[in-house]
C-alpha cells in the first residue's frame, strides 16, 4: 500500500540567505495491507517529516513516494485531495477546526465529504465518540474548548470514522488515560485486521510494541552531518 | 484508486489572464483551474493583484488578455447580456463590504428575492417562503425578513449577502475578502456557514483574502500572488506548511500565532 | 401672432422633437432623449408635455388641457391659454371634441379615439430610479430587459403593506419589451393605457420622450398571487352619481364633511347635462 524509495527532503529558507536544512535522504519504506509500521528515531530525526510526506503535506524533494498507487511526488493537488478523502486517513497531534463546529460534526465531516448521508455519518461519529468515552454532553460543543485528551480523542475518531485503507498516526495515544489508550489500540488492531496499512509514530513504547509489526528507524535516513 | 483523473473537465479554466492599469501591472499571465465542488483560495498582500484577478473573472473589470472558459464559453469575451445573466444565475459574487452587494433600502426578503424575481419568479408567497428558508440557512431569524439590512449587524449583513447570492443555486461563487472587517468570533461563524454551504450545495468557490487562517479552513487549494503574478499554487496545507517560494515563506512566517 | 412662430417653438426644434416622437412610437416604451428647450414656464409645470404638444399641433387642432382630470385648475388654464395665444388653435374642455389632449396625472374617462393624441406631462420618466439611482445602470437594465428590480419594488410594497400599495405611477410593460412609468396617473387608469389613441409622454427636465402607439399591449406588473387591481375610492360621485369613475375626495365644509366627486370634470358635467 505504501512504497517509498530514494526519498529525500530538505527545506530551503529563502528569507535566510537560502539556508538549506536537509532532513531525509535515500529514505525507503514499504508497508503492506494489514501491516503496522512504527517510525522510530530520536527527536528531530525526521519521523514527523516522513509522516507528513506520506500525508502529502510536505513536498517531496526527490525519489518516489507511492501511496495506494498514487505517486505523491508527481500527483496533482486534486489527486492528493481525493486520496485523502477516501483512502488516506490521518490522525494528527493537533486539532485544526473551524472554531464553532460541534465535535460530532468534526468527526462526521470526512464521511459527509464522501457523500455518506448526514444521519448515517452522524450516527457513526457518535458511536465512535461513545466508544472513546467522550462525554455525550461534549458532542454538540466545539472541540476548541476541550482539554488535550478530549481533543485527541476527537482527532482519533475523525481518523477512524471511515475505513481508510491507509492510516497515518502521529502519537495517537499521547495524553490519553489507560482506558482510552486501550480503546485506541483496539481500533488500530481492528484497522489492521480489515487490511489497512498503518504507519505511526508512538513515543509510548508499550503501545508501539502492542500494535507495530515492524519498526523503521528513521535516523538512518538522516543526511550525513558533513553538511 | 484515487477516484480523480485529470481528464475530468474543470468548471473554470483560466489561461494567461492579464490586466494592466496604464503601465502598472494588475495581474499578469494567470493560469488557474477550478473543479466542481472545489474551493480555491487566492492570497497575497494588498496590491498583489488578487482582487484585480477576481474582478476580471466577475466581469467588473475588462481583462487585457487571456481566456476564462466556463461551460465551454470564454466568459471574458461573453456579450454583456449573457455575462450579466450568468452573474445572476450560475455565478454569485460576495463583496467584502456587504453594502456593495446588498440593496440597503430594500428589506432582507427583497434582497434575497431579487435574483428569483430577475429569473422570472412571479409568485409572492413562493418568493417569500424561499427567502425565509434562506434566511434560516444563513442563521438569520426569518422573523426579520421585513427588516432592512441597515438594521443588521455587520456579520448578519454579510450572511444576508451570501443568501442573496446563493438563492438561485449557483455553481460558482466568487468571494472578495468575505470575512474582512468582521470580528474574529463573527468570522468563525461565517466560515463555518460557508463551509457547510459549499459542502451541501456542491459549490465551487474562489476566495480572495489576505487572511491565511481563512484559506486554511476554507480552501482545498491555494494560489499565492505577488506583484500581479502567481508565485505558488498547490494543496492549501502543503503551501502553508511547506512553502517553496521565498515570498510564501515570508507570508506564512508573518502570521501571528493563534 | 407675428412675434412667435406657430406654437411658440421654432420649426427646427419641432422637427427635432417630432423625430424623437416618431422614434418613441417605433420603439414603444423606450425613453428617447431629446434636447428639451427652455419654455416660458418653470420645469414641473409640464414643460415636457408642452413641447410635445407644440410639436404635434396643427392649425386645425382642437386642444384640451387637464390637470388631475380638471380643465379649470391653474396649470390647465395657463397651458390652454398659452397655446390659444401662440398657436391660435381652438380649445375645448370636451374630451370628445379635442384632437389633442395634454394631461397631468389622469386619462380621461371618455374613451379615446384613433384620431386623438394624448400628451402626458412626466416628472420622472425612469421607473427604476428609486431602486437604482445610477442612470448608466438603469439604461443598461432596460437594454438587457433586466426588470427583476421592478418586482422587488412591488414585493416591498406587499411586504410592508400587505398589498401592492403603489397607487399611482404604477409600472407597466409595453409591447412585451420595455417597462415604463405611465407618469403619476392613478393605477385606476392603467387599463386605459391600451388605447386606440396615440399616447405621447414628455419629460422636460429629464429630457425624455416616450410613446405608446395605438392598440399596443400594456401590462401592469404584478404577482400571480397579488394580481394587479385598478382600484379607486369606494364611493359614488356626489354630483353625477357615477360609481365607476375615478373619484376625488373633497372636504366640503368647515365641519370636515367629506364627499366624493368625479376627478374628470368634463365627464361629470356631460353626465349631468
Confidence of residue C3 (pLDDT cuts 50, 70, 90): confident
Q: In this structure, are residues A35 and A199 in contact, taking their beta carbons and an 8 Å threshold?
A: no
Q: Which residues pair with A89 in a beta bridge?
A: A167
Q: What is the pLDDT of residue C88?
A: 94
Interface ipTM:
0.91
Which residue in the list C24, C29, C46, C48 is annotated as catalytic? C29
Q: What is the pLDDT of residue B6?
A: 54
Q: Distance (Å) from the C-alpha of residue B248 to the closest C-alpha of chain A?
A: 10
pLDDT tens sequence across C50-61? 999 999 999 999
Q: Which residues pair with C258 in a beta bridge?
A: C251
Residue A173 burial (CB < 10 Å; 0-12/13-18/19+)? buried
Confidence of residue C107 (pLDDT cuts 50, 70, 90): very high
Rounded distance, CA A138 to CA C189, Å?
A: 66
Rounded distance, CA B180 to CA B155, Å?
A: 10
Task: Compute CA distances B140 → B156, B239, C114, whole Å.
Answer: 7, 35, 56
Nearest to C27 by CA among C197, C172, C176: C176
Output phi, psi for B216, to 5 deg. -60, -40
* Res B2 pLDDT > 50: no
Touching check for B113 and chain C: CB below 8 Å? yes
Nearest to C186 by CA among C119, C247, C267: C247
Give the mean model confidence (pLDDT) for residues A167-195.
94
Question: Which helix (H) or strand (E) segment is A105 a member of?
Answer: helix A103-113
Q: Percentage of residues in chain B with pLDDT exceeding 90?
A: 76
- Which residue of B2, B215, B234 is the best one to mutate when testing the A interface, meaning the one whose CB has the most A CBs within 10 A? B2
Q: Write the CB contacts of C261 (distance below 8 Å, at least 6 apart in sequence).
A: C237, C238, C239, C247, C248, C250, C268
Q: What is the pLDDT of residue B217?
A: 87
Output phi, psi for A225, to 5 deg. -65, -5
Q: Which residues of A touch B (CB under 8 A)?
A: 11-15, 52, 56-59, 68-70, 75-83, 85-87, 96-101, 112-113
Domain range summary for chain A, segments of one domain joined by + = 32-59+76-221
Confidence of residue B256 (pLDDT cuts 50, 70, 90): low
Grid cell, residue B53, equals: 484577478
Rounded distance, CA A82 to CA A86, Å?
A: 6
pLDDT tens sequence across A77-100? 999 999 999 999 999 988 888 778
First and final CA of chain C: distance in angstroms?
36
CA atoms within 13 A on the CB side of A127: 10
Confidence of residue C16 (pLDDT cuts 50, 70, 90): very high
Touching check for B183 and chain A: CB below 8 Å? no
- DSSP class per residue in C22-41: HHHHHSTT--EE--PPP-SS
Rounded distance, CA B255 to CA B244, Å?
A: 17
Rounded distance, CA B108 to CA B102, Å?
A: 9
**Chain C residues touching residue B81 (CB < 8 angstroms):** 144
Question: Coil, strand, or helix at residue A20?
Answer: strand
Output phi, psi for B174, to 5 deg. -105, 125
Q: In this structure, are residues B75 and B11 in contact, taking their beta carbons and an 8 Å threshold?
A: no
Confidence of residue A138 (pLDDT cuts 50, 70, 90): very high
What is the pTM (predicted TM-score) of this model? 0.88
Confidence of residue C108 (pLDDT cuts 50, 70, 90): very high
pLDDT tens sequence across B229-250? 999 999 999 999 999 999 999 9
Confidence of residue A226 (pLDDT cuts 50, 70, 90): very low
Grid cell, residue B145, equals: 425578513
* Res B176 pLDDT > 80: yes
Inter-chain contacts counted by CB atoms under 8 A, chains A and B: 82
First and final CA of chain B: distance in angstroms?
37
Q: Write the CB contacts of B200 (distance below 8 Å, at least 6 apart in sequence).
A: none
* Res C6 pLDDT > 70: yes
Q: What is the pLDDT of residue A15?
A: 87
Give the mean model confidence (pLDDT) for residues A196-222.
93
Q: Distance (Å) from the C-alpha of residue B175 to the closest C-alpha of chain A?
A: 18
Q: Percentage of residues in chain C with pLDDT exceeding 90?
A: 89
pLDDT tens sequence across B3-19? 555 567 899 999 999 99
Q: What is the pLDDT of residue C2?
A: 60
Nearest to C55 by CA among C214, C180, C204, C185: C204
Touching check for B123 and chain A: CB below 8 Å? no
Cell numbers 389632449 correspond to: C101
**Which is the CATH superfamily of the domain at A32-59+76-221?**
P-loop containing nucleotide triphosphate hydrolases (3.40.50.300)
Assess whether chains B and A touch, using the rule of 3 or more C-beta pairs within 8 angstroms.
yes
A8-12: long-range contacts at Cβ-Cβ below 8 A with a sequence spacing of 24 or more? A8/A60, A8/A61, A8/A62, A8/A63, A9/A46, A9/A49, A9/A50, A9/A53, A9/A58, A9/A60, A9/A61, A10/A61, A10/A223, A11/B242, A12/B244
Task: Compute CA distances A19 → A11, A22, A36, A218, whole Å.
Answer: 8, 10, 36, 23
| CB nearest to B242's CB, from A59, A79, A99 | A59
Rounded distance, CA A3 to CA A63, Å?
A: 11
Q: In this structure, are residues C193 and C175 in contact, taking their beta carbons and an 8 Å threshold?
A: no
Confidence of residue C267 (pLDDT cuts 50, 70, 90): very high
* Res A225 pLDDT > 70: no
pLDDT tens sequence across A26-83? 999 999 999 999 999 988 889 999 999 999 999 999 999 999 999 999 999 999 999 9
Touching check for C131 and chain B: CB below 8 Å? yes
Rounded distance, CA C201 to CA C192, Å?
A: 15
Question: A129-138, B177-186, C68-77: lowest mean pLDDT where?
Answer: B177-186
Averaged pLDDT of chain B: 91
Q: Write the CB contacts of B146 (distance below 8 Å, at least 6 apart in sequence).
A: B107, B108, B109, C159, C160
Assess whether chains C and B touch, using the rule of 3 or more C-beta pairs within 8 angstroms.
yes
Confidence of residue B189 (pLDDT cuts 50, 70, 90): confident
Minimal-distance CA residue of chain B relative to C164: B124
Nearest to B14 by CA among B191, B164, B204, B178: B204
pLDDT tens sequence across B33-62? 999 989 999 999 888 999 999 999 999 999
CA geometry: angle A94, A95, A98, nearest 5 deg: 150
* Res A227 pLDDT > 50: no
pLDDT tens sequence across C83-105? 999 999 999 999 999 999 999 99
Rounded distance, CA B201 to CA C140, Å?
A: 32
Q: Which residues of C17-34 are buried (b: 16+ CB within 10 A; e: fewer)?
A: beebbebbbebbbbbbeb
Q: Percentage of residues in chain B with pLDDT exceeding 70?
A: 96
Q: What is the pLDDT of residue B5?
A: 56
Phi-psi region of C213 (alpha: psi -120 to 50; beta: other; left: phi over 0): beta
Touching check for B109 and chain C: CB below 8 Å? yes
Rounded distance, CA B230 to CA B233, Å?
A: 7
Cell numbers 482545498 correspond to: B220
Amino acid at each position: 500500500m505504501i512504497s517509498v524509495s530514494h526519498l529525500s527532503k530538505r527545506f530551503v529558507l529563502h528569507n535566510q540567505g537560502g539556508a538549506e536544512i536537509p532532513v531525509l535522504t535515500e529514505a525507503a519504506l514499504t508497508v503492506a495491507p494489514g501491516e503496522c509500521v512504527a517510525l522510530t528515531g530520536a527527536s528531530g530525526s525526521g519521523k514527523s517529516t516522513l509522516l507528513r510526506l506520506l500525508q502529502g503535506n510536505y513536498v517531496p524533494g526527490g525519489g518516489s513516494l507511492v501511496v495506494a498507487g498514487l505517486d505523491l511526488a508527481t500527483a496533482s493537488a486534486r489527486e492528493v485531495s481525493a486520496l485523502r478523502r477516501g483512502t488516506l486517513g490521518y490522525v494528527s497531534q493537533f486539532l485544526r477546526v473551524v472554531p464553532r463546529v460541534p465535535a460530532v460534526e468534526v468527526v462526521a465531516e470526512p464521511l459527509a465529504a464522501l457523500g455518506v448521508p448526514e444521519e448515517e455519518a452522524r450516527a457513526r461519529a457518535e458511536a465512535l465518540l461513545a466508544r472513546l468515552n467522550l462525554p455525550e454532553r461534549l458532542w454538540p460543543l466545539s472541540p476548541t474548548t476541550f482539554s488535550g485528551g478530549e481533543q485527541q480523542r476527537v482527532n482519533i475518531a475523525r481518523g477512524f470514522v471511515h475505513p481508510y485503507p491507509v492510516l497515518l498516526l502521529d502519537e495517537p495515544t499521547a495524553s490519553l488515560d489507560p482506558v482510552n489508550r486501550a480503546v485506541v489500540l483496539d481500533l488500530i488492531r481492528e484497522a489492521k485486521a480489515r487490511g489497512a496499512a498503518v504507519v505511526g509514530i508512538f513515543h509510548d513504547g508499550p503501545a508501539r510494541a502492542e500494535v507495530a509489526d515492524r519498526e523503521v528507524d528513521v535516523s538512518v535516513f538522516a543526511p550525513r552531518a558533513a553538511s | 484508486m484515487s477516484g480523480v483523473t485529470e481528464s475530468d473537465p474543470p468548471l473554470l479554466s483560466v489561461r494567461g489572464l492579464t490586466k494592466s492599469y496604464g503601465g502598472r501591472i494588475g495581474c499578469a499571465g494567470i493560469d488557474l483551474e477550478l473543479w466542481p465542488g472545489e474551493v480555491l483560495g487566492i492570497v497575497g498582500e494588498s496590491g498583489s493583484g488578487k482582487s484585480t484577478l477576481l474582478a476580471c473573472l466577475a466581469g467588473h473589470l475588462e481583462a487585457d488578455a487571456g481566456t476564462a472558459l466556463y461551460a465551454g464559453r470564454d466568459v471574458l469575451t461573453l456579450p454583456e447580456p449573457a455575462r450579466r445573466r450568468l452573474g445572476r444565475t450560475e455565478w454569485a459574487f460576495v463583496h467584502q463590504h456587504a453594502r456593495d452587494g446588498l440593496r440597503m433600502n430594500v428589506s432582507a426578503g427583497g434582497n434575497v428575492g431579487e435574483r428569483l424575481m430577475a429569473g422570472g419568479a412571479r409568485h409572492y408567497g413562493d418568493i417569500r417562503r424561499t427567502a425565509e428558508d434562506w434566511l434560516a440557512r444563513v442563521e438569520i431569524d426569518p422573523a426579520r425578513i421585513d427588516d432592512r439590512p441597515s438594521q443588521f449587524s455587520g456579520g448578519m449583513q454579510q450572511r444576508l449577502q451570501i443568501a442573496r447570492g446563493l438563492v438561485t443555486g449557483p455553481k460558482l461563487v466568487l468571494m472578495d475578502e468575505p470575512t474582512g472587517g468582521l470580528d474574529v468570533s463573527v468570522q468563525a461563524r461565517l466560515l463555518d456557514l460557508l463551509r457547510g454551504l459549499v459542502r451541501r450545495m456542491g459549490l465551487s468557490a474562489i476566495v480572495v483574502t489576505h487572511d491565511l487562517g481563512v484559506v486554511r479552513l476554507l480552501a482545498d487549494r491555494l494560489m499565492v500572488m505577488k506583484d500581479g503574478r502567481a508565485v505558488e499554487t498547490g494543496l492549501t496545507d502543503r503551501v502553508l506548511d511547506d512553502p517553496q517560494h521565498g515570498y510564501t515563506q515570508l507570508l506564512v512566517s508573518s502570521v501571528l500565532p493563534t | 401672432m407675428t412675434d412667435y412662430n406657430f406654437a411658440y417653438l421654432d420649426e427646427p426644434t419641432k422637427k427635432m422633437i417630432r423625430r424623437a416622437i416618431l422614434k418613441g412610437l417605433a420603439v414603444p416604451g423606450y425613453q428617447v432623449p431629446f434636447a428639451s428647450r427652455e419654455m416660458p414656464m418653470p420645469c414641473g409645470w409640464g414643460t415636457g408635455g408642452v413641447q410635445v404638444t407644440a410639436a404635434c399641433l396643427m392649425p386645425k387642432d382642437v386642444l384640451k388641457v387637464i390637470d388631475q382630470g380638471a380643465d379649470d385648475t391653474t396649470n390647465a388654464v395657463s397651458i390652454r391659454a398659452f397655446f390659444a395665444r401662440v398657436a391660435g388653435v381652438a380649445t375645448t374642455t370636451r374630451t370628445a371634441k379635442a384632437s389633442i389632449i395634454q394631461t397631468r396625472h389622469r386619462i380621461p374617462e371618455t374613451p379615446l379615439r384613433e384620431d386623438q393624441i394624448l400628451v402626458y406631462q412626466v416628472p420622472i420618466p425612469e421607473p427604476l430610479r428609486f431602486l437604482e439611482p445610477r442612470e448608466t445602470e438603469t439604461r443598461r437594465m432596460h437594454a438587457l430587459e433586466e426588470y427583476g428590480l421592478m418586482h422587488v419594488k412591488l414585493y416591498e410594497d406587499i411586504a410592508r403593506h400587505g398589498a401592492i400599495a403603489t397607487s399611482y405611477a404604477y409600472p407597466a410593460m409595453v409591447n412585451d419589451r420595455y417597462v415604463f412609468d405611465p407618469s403619476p396617473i392613478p393605477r385606476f387608469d392603467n387599463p386605459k393605457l391600451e388605447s386606440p389613441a396615440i399616447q405621447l409622454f414628455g419629460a422636460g427636465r429629464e429630457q425624455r420622450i416616450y410613446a405608446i402607439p395605438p392598440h399596443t399591449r400594456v401590462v401592469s406588473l404584478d404577482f400571480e398571487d397579488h394580481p394587479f387591481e385598478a382600484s379607486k375610492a369606494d364611493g359614488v360621485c356626489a354630483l353625477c352619481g357615477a360609481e365607476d369613475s375615478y373619484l376625488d375626495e373633497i372636504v366640503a365644509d368647515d365641519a370636515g364633511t367629506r364627499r366624493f366627486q368625479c376627478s374628470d370634470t368634463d365627464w361629470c358635467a356631460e353626465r349631468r347635462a
